[in-house]
Structure 1
């Protein structure tokens, strides 16, 4: 329900009235200080700009002031810099001078109280009247708002606050108004019923530097350009036809991973599973996008990890703009450095593709990788992607490539890292999954893509991991495009909305009192799907801004996890028991494990 023009007019009128009250007080203060206060001040030398009469003091101010008093009298007014002084040079005039100062003090206090009253009324109105229908939330501090309440793990802090203020909570961070959504029912209102209103993204410093001034799909504002980019990425990379076309490549990469783990098992070698998973996902993604695996010139996974961590930090420059030039957190410097590293890698890749295409005939459409398709779109008009054909340039290409690299690598590898962690931590669940794999896959060396649809328990394990260990606990922020009323609360235009998906999995109203147990069987009789139509599992977002790469992500996750446990048991190092495995997270735009996962494989023979 949209707000009425009547309410808007009242808001504007009250705003103008309060502002005029403050300005009237300030004007009266200035007028009095210029015409009355200085009219009754004692005589004295005419002050210079800025320094006043400081130049007249000399090295012996008492002698200089005495000399001046012989000209201006025993009660003399002198301004030193911006500070007003009264110089008394005879004892008999001391009592008279004190009375003058007392009168000045009384009038000053009266005028100051008038100004403060206006300011107080302004603050009271803005907090209690103008925003009286905002959702409840903590009282913000001046300048910083509630930034001090976020801590090092904001999703946990916001969840705790939501238990006091409710699933729709208002929080001001610096000068920016946020609404925090902490339950599936609340999320349905914002991202379901009113999805179109909240389909845009706020402009943040991270996207300015890393996403080439918001030209990627993730952070661009809702509109024709975003729709064109999303359509292009879906059709040319993420459609079922395109994804299936890379099945052979994925089988090769999974086979190499399994052979590597077999060698580690034979040598009783400690494996950094976090690194292994990251490498295999990076290999598959790079072959899809660039037509080849990474070499030593490219360190995408390292730079992407750093970028995700930096982007997730609540940046003072975004919330207190006047502090942006000071770069108090060092984030501007980090963003510029990361942007430079990414840009150099993309430039090399694009240059290589251009030179290759110039040296030989252009490849057939079926032989093109994603960069080839981007270049062809830039070089010739496309009926399928007509809007993007007109606007695409080199910066657009690099922004789109970054979205695809970061989204495909980081989401999948972080999800797999958490799934393997919970399987090692819960041996019972591991054995159940291995039992299903033995039954459904049999003695085949590799779990194939065609096997995944029949692995029901694997799907339950993935869902339960998404519930308790979401990859992006706060999702990517949304922004309202117009004023709207939801559940009796007023949500003004350009309010930022954070969906605390981490809190969803800890809601006893949804998951019962055993929500804190890792129990895949809770999905046995529930048809909660990964698309989040019931808003309980929205790992990949939902609505217009939902991730179009969900199917590719789930496919890669299922392949890696199933092949990691089909023929392997995993033992923690140094005799550590599964219950001792540290499950702490590190906050960022995505939230990986705080410490890498290490384990020793045992190969079944």
Structure 2
């Protein structure tokens, strides 16, 4: 399995480099379907703005996992849902979420005490657990322990990981595309069990939360302190339930689908991005010390909680995260279907019914836009020179169907990393191929791009 995962990522890398060499666009056949591979930002921006339908392969893979969740939903389903969802990722709500991120980060730091000085270990499971707990609390409200009767957190993480593995296997094996063939495999039965487990968790939690929201709304109507209550923290799901009346309405099934999207997409992508940043900080101790100096400037020697104002001041940490996302975007490719003819800037007409693969991994390494040192980890590039094109950096995709939770993810990552680095120094794992400074990481692909060695590091106490 490991060799296969490595080869998948190598295929993406080779196709990306070949496309760069040929001017930013090439064509390949996958079974009976023709795909354009794109690494040029201008061309990629055009496709991602006008081709809003997700490619058949993506819909096939994710349909069984998340139903019509907004990641791959057809445009007629996605558009009205996004109108409801997007306003809730505003700065006011995000600022309220910072306290949740801080609490979960502090709990993770305590859990990591036993790993200090104990040699190499994988930090990924700790990060993903912290991320999932934060998503539960910001999406649902309350404490993560309140939901233990509905979900086994570690089992849910394992199921998400296994589900993504199966989807990646199917995506790279065209003979499994027909449903009647896939249903004959053991993977189909496993995937069915995973989906039933996740759907059951979502269904129970949603029913519980809708009842609480309705009860709270009745209390607020009778209360004389509505103004004060309006300032209280409200989780995403509660906001969606309140705003889903009138013409814009989520059904119970739709709400469950979007919750599953938050759990599946939000947990793994944020955890992967945070873990890659931690690896980079371990490889480049000078950069890690610059981040720590910034943290000392903002927090001094205090152990106080992190606030939204603190995060706004962590400018260097932010560019370190961005540079990590440039070299190691968790989602290295995005795929779209061409519904009607598209005329490229070059004048070439792309006919309908073909597919488009935007190779983000390669687009982020194009020397024409990033310079001859495009392969090097240099956070200062996001300070020194403005972007030449708005689509040359798209770790969260681009255009109308980009990730609505971009700022949510950045806020969560900055909080986790700030809390971790205030307490521990991260050093390279002694038995890892990802510990050599300046050497590209060995990568594998299973819908998300991950480190082959599963993000191994070592920890030392700061004090």
Task: Verify same fold: TM over 0.5.
Answer: yes
Displacement of 1:403 after TM fit? 1.3
Q: Distance in 1 between matches of 2:233 and 2:293?
A: 40
Q: CA distance change for structure 1 residues 163 and 249 in 2, over 3 Å: closer, same or farther? A: closer
1:455 paired to 2:314: yes
Q: Out of 52, 64, 77, which is 1:209 matched to? A: 64
Q: CA distance change for structure 1 residues 448 and 587 in 2, over 3 Å: closer, same or farther? A: same
Displacement of 1:261 after TM fit? 3.6
Runs of 4+ in 1 over 6 A off after TM superposition: 357-361
Contact 2:170 2:177 (C-alpha < 8 Å) held by counterparts: no
Contact 2:69 2:257 (C-alpha < 8 Å) held by counterparts: yes
Q: CA distance change for structure 1 residues 408 and 428 in 2, over 3 Å: closer, same or farther? A: same
Q: Distance in 1 between matches of 2:172 and 2:235?
A: 40
Displacement of 1:553 after TM fit? 0.5
Contact 1:184 1:535 (C-alpha < 8 Å) held by counterparts: yes
Q: What does residue 444 of structure 2 align with?
A: 586
Q: CA distance change for structure 1 residues 331 and 206 in 2, over 3 Å: closer, same or farther? A: farther
1:455-474 counterparts in 2 under 5 A? 455-474=314-333
Q: What does residue 224 of structure 2 align with?
A: none
Q: CA distance change for structure 1 residues 182 and 310 in 2, over 3 Å: closer, same or farther? A: farther
Displacement of 1:230 after TM fit? 0.8
Displacement of 1:404 after TM fit? 1.6
Q: What does residue 307 of structure 1 align with?
A: 163
Count of residue pairs brought into register by the alignment? 435
Q: What does residue 52 of structure 2 align with?
A: 199
1:546 paired to 2:399: no
Displacement of 1:359 after TM fit? 8.1
Q: Distance in 2 between matches of 1:244 and 1:232?
A: 20
Displacement of 1:256 after TM fit? 2.0
Q: What does residue 203 of structure 2 align with?
A: 347
Q: What does residue 517 of structure 1 align with?
A: 376
1:508 paired to 2:367: yes
Contact 1:568 1:602 (C-alpha < 8 Å) held by counterparts: yes
Q: Distance in 1 between matches of 2:396 and 2:170?
A: 22
Contact 1:180 1:499 (C-alpha < 8 Å) held by counterparts: yes
Q: Out of 83, 102, 112, which is 1:231 matched to? A: 83
Contact 2:115 2:459 (C-alpha < 8 Å) held by counterparts: yes
Contact 1:309 1:587 (C-alpha < 8 Å) held by counterparts: no
- Relative contact order: is structure 1 or structure 2 higher (C-alpha 8 Å, sep ≥ 6)? 2
Q: What does residue 257 of structure 2 align with?
A: 399
TM-score for both structures, normalised by structure 1: 0.65
Q: Distance in 2 between matches of 1:200 and 1:479?
A: 6
Which structure 1 residue ranges, 5 or more long, are not aligned? Answer: 1-147
Root-mean-square deviation (CA, aligned residues, Å) is 3.1
Q: CA distance change for structure 1 residues 322 and 594 in 2, over 3 Å: closer, same or farther? A: closer
Contact 2:202 2:256 (C-alpha < 8 Å) held by counterparts: yes
Displacement of 1:329 after TM fit? 7.0
Q: Out of 129, 136, 140, which is 1:290 matched to? A: 140
1:424 paired to 2:299: no
Q: What does residue 190 of structure 1 align with?
A: 47
Q: Distance in 2 between matches of 1:511 and 1:261?
A: 37
Q: Out of 2, 13, 25, which is 1:168 matched to? A: 25
Q: Distance in 1 between matches of 2:389 and 2:159?
A: 34
1:245 paired to 2:108: no
Q: Distance in 2 between matches of 1:359 and 1:308?
A: 37
Q: Distance in 2 between matches of 1:429 and 1:242?
A: 31
